[in-house]
């Protein structure tokens, strides 16, 4: 990353102006119907950053109508037009990468390095990938006797997309890329905690040539704004990323008129280290699997299974790694871990730490809040846990890993690794590739990383088994989420 300290100070000063943002509907900034606003604050300092509209059902209706009216033209736009616009979006994001990284850091708390190199780089890659996909939406032709059969792919219509706060711009890109390239129109409801980068993205998309009404962005809380969006009669499809609990509400809301639904939900992912693993890779790998983005990842490697012979070495290594992590504000270039996103999240993670302690788990490091101002939590390694503990079973969504020893790679290990209601991701560290693949084949998870963790690519589908979700995002698969199939049969 080429970034000077002066640059970040200058940008921070520019962003320190406290603005009130509207919804972005039909290409215009629009005040919310309720007149109520939500205050955003920097999670490292709790200073006010900006105000956003607290959206309601009337705002939802306006935004959905705009998307509905924009659909006929956009759905018939040429692949070349869609490709060009998506490419320009990627180019403009790259030109302002530092601004966007800064917004993520100020609003979400993550470090500027992580925001720049992971989040914004990932978002750019997504738009580039789906720019290319605009020309890959081929239908098919089938011949049978005296009929000619055509199989068309058509955009599904108006899409409601609801996203969380852990990767604000990246989650918006995961959703928008496939929707826009297939010719759908969108109402995007961003998380109430972290809307800033996506709000700026909406404006950037307009500058890049996206016609008004194709992307509409709403801000607001889940119940008053997200729920009516998921239930709106003119919405054809809902794509949601967030908690499993809310995912179930989305399914109910969308069920009235049987909208198509895709869900990317929670996880409690096993990361398995075998005794033949390269420890120089496995130990930092296991630490990053959980501490990346402060553990606020649905695919975090939160259950660390280590083969007995190497258990002490790995647990000691990960504990040392955790103790060495420098906590601080994300804008400070020395910081390695920022604050959690919000007071709510701090309380939730602290609650899990208390429950672990009460149920007899032992923290080898961390286990408590750091400082008093921002929402910092110390990276924590728990041992002596058992399957009946909440910290063992439930998604904590914080920098807390549970280390679990196992004897041999057998049915028992696989049963324990799969013993979760989730199935989003898993990791395996070993030098024996054949063994790694045999384990990978038996893990009930949408992504299995071998000798790595948290590697994402626009071309690689991502999503979950079991209660981790429905469908896959990214890759070519994601296009299917936004396309209908029409068979035309002509007698000749
Ligand atoms: P988290 O617990 O990590 O904040 P949530 O699942 O609560 O995750 O939130 C993810 C997104 O879902 C946010 O944009 C939030 O506003 C939205 N949301 C929350 N509740 C509902 C709901 N009942 N209907 C629709 N959207 C909701």
Report whether 100 contacts 89 (CB < 8 A): no
pLDDT digits (tens, 9 = 90+) for 168-214: 999 999 999 999 999 999 999 999 999 999 999 999 999 999 999 99
pLDDT digits (tens, 9 = 90+) for 229-254: 999 999 999 999 999 999 999 999 99
Q: How far is the CA of 164 from the centre of ligand 1 (A)?
A: 7
Does the structure show a pLDDT above 90 at 13? Answer: no
The CATH architecture to which 270-458 belongs is 3-Layer(aba) Sandwich (3.40)
d(CA 248, CA 119): 27
Q: How far is the CA of 192 from the centre of ligand 1 (A)?
A: 9
pLDDT digits (tens, 9 = 90+) for 35-53: 999 999 999 999 999 999 9
264 part of the active site: yes
pLDDT of residue 2: 46
Q: Where are the domains of the chain?
A: 5-265+468-488, 270-458
Give, using CA atoms, the residue closest to atom 26 of ligand 1: 226
Whole-structure pTM over 0.95, yes or no? yes
List beta partners, residue 473.
462
Give, using CA atoms, the residue closest to atom 4 of ligand 1: 164
Report whether 384 contacts 362 (CB < 8 A): yes
Q: What is the mean pLDDT of residues 44-67?
A: 98
Is the minimum distance from the CB of 164 to ligand 1 under 6 angstroms? yes
Is the minimum distance from the CB of 189 to ligand 1 under 6 angstroms? yes
Is the minimum distance from the CB of 223 to ligand 1 under 6 angstroms? yes
Does the structure show a pLDDT above 90 at 491? Answer: no
Is the minimum distance from the CB of 192 to ligand 1 under 6 angstroms? yes
Is the minimum distance from the CB of 268 to ligand 1 under 6 angstroms? no
Q: How far is the CA of 441 from the centre of ligand 1 (A)?
A: 33
Measured from the Cα of 229, ligand 1's closest atom is 25
Q: How far is the CA of 250 from the centre of ligand 1 (A)?
A: 9
298 part of the active site: yes
Does the structure show a pLDDT above 70 at 14? Answer: no
Is the minimum distance from the CB of 264 to ligand 1 under 6 angstroms? no
Mean pLDDT of the chain: 96
Report whether 44 contacts 330 (CB < 8 A): yes
pLDDT of residue 8: 62
Is the minimum distance from the CB of 162 to ligand 1 under 6 angstroms? yes
Helices (H), 76-154: 79-95, 97-108, 112-114, 121-133
Give the SS3 label for residue 111.
Answer: coil
Please state, for a pLDDT cut of 90, what percent of the chain lies above it.
94
Q: How far is the CA of 244 from the centre of ligand 1 (A)?
A: 10
Pick the CATH number of 5-265+468-488 from 2.40.50.100, 3.40.1190.20, 3.40.605.10, 2.60.120.10: 3.40.605.10
Does the structure show a pLDDT above 70 at 311? Answer: yes
Report whether 419 contacts 264 (CB < 8 A): no
d(CA 114, CA 119): 7
308 CB burial (10 A radius; 0-12, 13-18, 19+):
exposed
Report whether 148 contacts 479 (CB < 8 A): no
d(CA 28, CA 15): 21
Q: What is the mean pLDDT of residues 25-37?
A: 98
Give, using CA atoms, the residue closest to atom 15 of ligand 1: 222
Please state, for a pLDDT cut of 70, what percent of the chain lies above it.
97
Q: How far is the CA of 161 from the centre of ligand 1 (A)?
A: 11
Question: What is the dihedral angle through the alpha carbons of 24, 29, 32, 33, rounded to the nearest 10 degrees?
Answer: -100
Q: Report the residue among 242, 263, 297 best suited for mutation to probe ligand 1: largest number of ligand atoms under 8 A from its CB.
A: 242
**Catalytic one among 193, 298, 395, 473?**
298
Q: What is the mean pLDDT of residues 356-364?
A: 98
Q: How far is the CA of 158 from the centre of ligand 1 (A)?
A: 20
Does the structure show a pLDDT above 90 at 145? Answer: no
pLDDT of residue 142: 86
Give, using CA atoms, the residue closest to atom 24 of ligand 1: 227
* Predicted confidence band of residue 71 (pLDDT cuts 50, 70, 90): very high
Report whether 98 contacts 200 (CB < 8 A): no
List beta partners, residue 51.
20, 39
């Amino acid at each position: 990353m080429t970034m000077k300290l002066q640059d970040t100070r200058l940008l921070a000063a520019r962003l320190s102006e406290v603005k009130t943002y509207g919804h972005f509907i039909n290409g215009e900034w629009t005040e919310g119907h309720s007149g109520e606003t939500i205050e955003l604050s920097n999670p490292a300092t709790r200073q006010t950053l900006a105000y956003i509209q607290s959206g309601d059902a009337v705002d939802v209706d306006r935004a959905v109508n705009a998307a509905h009216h924009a659909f006929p033209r956009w759905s018939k736009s040429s692949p070349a037009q869609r490709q060009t616009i998506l490419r320009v979006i990627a180019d403009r994001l790259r030109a302002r990468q530092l601004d966007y990284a800064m917004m993520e850091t100020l609003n979400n708390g993550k470090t500027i390095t992580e925001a720049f190199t992971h989040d914004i780089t990932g978002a750019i890659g997504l738009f580039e990938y789906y720019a290319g996909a605009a020309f890959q939406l081929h239908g098919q032709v089938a011949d049978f006797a005296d009929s000619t059969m055509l199989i068309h792919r058509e955009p599904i219509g108006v899409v409601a997309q609801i996203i969380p706060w852990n990767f604000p711009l990246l989650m918006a890109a995961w959703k928008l890329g496939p929707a826009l390239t297939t010719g759908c129109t969108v109402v995007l409801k961003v998380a109430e905690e972290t809307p800033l980068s996506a709000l700026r993205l909406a404006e950037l998309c307009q500058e890049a040539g996206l016609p008004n009404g194709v992307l509409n962005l709403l801000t607001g809380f889940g119940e008053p704004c997200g729920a009516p969006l998921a239930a709106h009669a003119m919405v054809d499809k809902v794509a949601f990323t967030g908690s499993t609990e809310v995912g179930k509400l989305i399914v109910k809301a969308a069920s009235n008129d049987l909208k198509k639904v895709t869900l990317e939900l929670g996880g409690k992912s096993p990361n398995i280290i075998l005794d033949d693993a390269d420890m120089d890779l496995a130990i930092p790998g296991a630490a990053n699997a959980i501490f990346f983005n402060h553990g606020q990842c649905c695919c975090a490697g939160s259950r660390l299974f280590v083969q007995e012979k190497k258990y002490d070495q790995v647990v000691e290594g990960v504990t040392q790694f955790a103790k060495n992590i420098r906590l601080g504000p994300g804008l400070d270039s020395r910081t390695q871990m920022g604050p959690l996103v919000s007071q709510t999240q701090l309380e939730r993670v602290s609650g899990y730490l208390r429950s672990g302690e009460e149920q007899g788990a032992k923290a080898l490091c961390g286990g408590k809040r750091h400082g008093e101002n921002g929402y910092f939590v110390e990276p924590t390694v728990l041992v002596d846990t058992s399957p009946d503990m909440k910290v063992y079973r439930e998604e904590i969504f914080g920098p807390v890993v549970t280390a679990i020893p196992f004897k041999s790679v057998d049915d028992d290990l696989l049963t324990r690794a799969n013993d979760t209601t989730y199935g989003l991701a898993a990791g395996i560290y070993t030098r024996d590739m054949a063994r790694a693949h045999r384990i990978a084949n038996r893990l009930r998870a949408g992504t299995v990383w071998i000798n790595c963790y948290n590697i994402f690519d626009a071309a690689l589908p991502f999503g979950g088994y079991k209660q981790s979700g429905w469908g896959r995002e990214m890759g070519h698969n994601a296009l299917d989420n936004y396309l209908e199939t029409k068979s035309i049969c002509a007698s000749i």
